[in-house]
Structures are given as structure tokens and as C-alpha cells.
Amino acid sequence: LTLAVVLPRRNLTYPWAWPRVGPAVSLAAAAVNSRRDLLPGFTVRWVFGDSEDRHGVCSEMAAPLVAVDLWLAHRPAAFLGPGCVYSAAPVARFTGHWRLPLVTAGAEAHGFDDKSEEFGLTTRAGPSHRKLGELGVRLHRRFNWTRRALLVYWDEPAGDRPYYFAAEGLYVQLPTLRNLTVMDVVFRDGGNFSFIIQEIKARGR
């Protein structure tokens, strides 16, 4: 029984990097294999594919290519990873097409909540930004904030855009409160912070 692992090989800035997760995968496989009552007639093994590009960051191109290679070569029963949003999305679409489960500690973006179609077999073991949005809704109800919400976040259109996806969870969930206006202000490195402060002053009240 083969488990295909698609994770960053070296970059320890990711909590799901292989040097962090690999020992747990090895221990889990060994524990399952030591108990013949769990999967009688099967031996669990894993194969690894690197989701990093040549710069050492999560790649939406490398991850699906390596996932296809692993599927063709090993016909795995399930996938573990990727964790990064832009890497996980195309791999999850492939695994859904192959009718294989995908388990990830990442993929926090709101879009992965849709289990009706492409992400129906994706299971997230970590936090999701939908839950952050639901927390925002609860806070607004608790403190009777009923008129408007202004989301201010940092974003760069490169990498995995964690702040953008975190804000998305709030942006999607807060409008479930009736008559609440939700706006956003994006800033970047070297941005005009005086302008942002003026925007907060004008739009956040």
C-alpha cells in the first residue's frame, strides 16, 4: 500500500517541509506495519516527490508534475501534501480525478472548503481561514459591530500569499452578517503608509 508524499524537500520555513514531516511519516508507516491487525495482507510504504522549484519555494508547476510522475510510476493509494495553497490546488484536482484521498496540513484557503466537486477528497489536518472568518463573525456579533469592517493586510503577488488568503476568510464570512459593509485595503513593501492611514480613517468608521 503506497503513500505518495509531495512536500518541500529542504525549505524549513514551511511547517510541512520534509525534514519536519519525514520522521513522522516513517514512524507512522513502521507503527502500522508492526500491527498486522490494522491492514492485514498489506505493507505500507511511501514514495517522495519534491514540491520545491529551483529557488527552494513551493511551486504550482513542480508539485502537480511530480504528483503525476508518482501516480504513473507507483499507483499510490493516497497522497500526503502538498501544503502550500498554490501547490495543493492542482494536485488536489488531480487526486480528485483519480478518486484518491489527499491529506494536507496546509491548504488553508477558503476555496478548499468546497467539497462538492474538485476538493471533495481533500482533508485538511491543520487550520483553515474559514474558521478565522467564523471567529470574525462571532466577534462582530459579540461586540455589536454592525455597520462596516475594513480589512487591512500586506500582500505580494508572489509566493503563497498567506495574508491575502487569511483576509479572504474574513472577507467571505463577514458578509453573512446582514447589512455589514466589508472593504479591504492592501499594502506592500515600500507602500504609502500615510495613504493607508487616511484610508483607515475615511473608510473604517
As a whole number of angstroms, the distance between CA 128 and CA 147 comes to 26
Could you count the other beta carbons within 10 Å of the beta carbon of residue 61?
A: 12
More confident site: 182 or 7: 7
Inter-residue contact 20 to 105 (CB < 8 Å): no
As a whole number of angstroms, the distance between CA 70 and CA 79 comes to 10
Beta bridge partners of 122: 102
pLDDT on residue 156: 74
pLDDT on residue 89: 94
As a whole number of angstroms, the distance between CA 30 and CA 53 comes to 30
Ranges of each domain in the chain: 2-124, 129-204
Please compute the mean of the pLDDT values over residues 179-195 and round it to a whole number.
76
As a whole number of angstroms, the distance between CA 130 and CA 179 comes to 20
| CATH class, 129-204 region | alpha beta
Q: Tell me the whole-structure pTM to 2 decimals.
A: 0.82
pLDDT digits (tens, 9 = 90+) for 24-34: 999 999 999 99
Q: CA dist 58 to 50, 82, 87, 160, Å?
A: 9, 9, 6, 8
With a cut of 90, say whether residue 20 has pLDDT above it: yes
User: Residue 198: helix, strand or coil by DSSP?
Assistant: helix
Is 129-204 the same fold as 2-124? Answer: yes
pLDDT digits (tens, 9 = 90+) for 45-71: 999 999 999 988 899 999 999 999 999
pLDDT on residue 205: 56
Could you count the other beta carbons within 10 Å of the beta carbon of residue 100?
A: 17
Fold (topology level) of 2-124: Rossmann fold (3.40.50)
| Band (187; pLDDT cuts 50, 70, 90) | confident
| Band (202; pLDDT cuts 50, 70, 90) | confident
pLDDT digits (tens, 9 = 90+) for 69-126: 999 999 999 999 999 999 999 999 999 999 999 999 988 888 898 888 889 999 999 8
Give the helix ranges, DSSP H, for 14-104. 18-34, 62-74, 85-97
Pairing of strands 78-80, 2-7: parallel
Query: Could you give the strand order of the β-sheet that contains 102-104, starting from the edge strand earlier in sequence?
Result: 45-50, 2-7, 78-80, 102-104, 122-124
pLDDT on residue 110: 86
pLDDT on residue 33: 95
| Band (204; pLDDT cuts 50, 70, 90) | low
Please compute the mean of the pLDDT values over residues 163-169 and round it to a whole number.
83
pLDDT on residue 190: 65
With a cut of 80, say whether residue 38 has pLDDT above it: yes
